[in-house]
Amino acid sequence: MTALDTIKDTVTNNDVVLFMKGTKMMPQCGFSSRVAGVLNYMGVEFADVNVLADAEIRQGIKDFSDWPTIPQLYVKGEFIGGCDIVTEMTLSGELDALFEANGVAYDKEAAEKIRAANAG
């Protein structure tokens, strides 16, 4: 099985997947930590894939999504984006809508608190 097969299986078999540096409990970069933190705070169940543990997966995910950076968030097999996009979607409420449309459970109150804390 190639790295791309593994990636495809992972995003197909999990509703929400975060390809990140480190793990959701021990992120190893600020951007990965931020996205994992948002998902954890919102109570989203997600699979975490540590790209630092496998060089083939680390390169493979960039080829798979045609996106050069980590972290990468997938919902129901669809590539959503990296840290900036996920942050923007969280603050605009688009992430909530995406989760709702895909039947992904999350804590709406927590999402509101993130937006309130970041209101300009």
CATH class of 3-115: alpha beta
Rounded Cα distance between 74 and 81, Å, is 8
Condensed to tens digits (0 to 9), the pLDDT of residues 95-114 reads: 999 999 999 999 999 999 99
Nearest to 104 by CA among 36, 25, 14, 31: 14
Condensed to tens digits (0 to 9), the pLDDT of residues 32-89 reads: 999 999 999 999 999 999 999 999 999 999 999 999 999 999 999 999 999 999 999 9
Cis peptide preceding 27, ω within 30 of 0: no
Any residues with CB less than 8 A from the CB of 27 and at least 6 apart, and which? 20, 21, 33, 36, 37
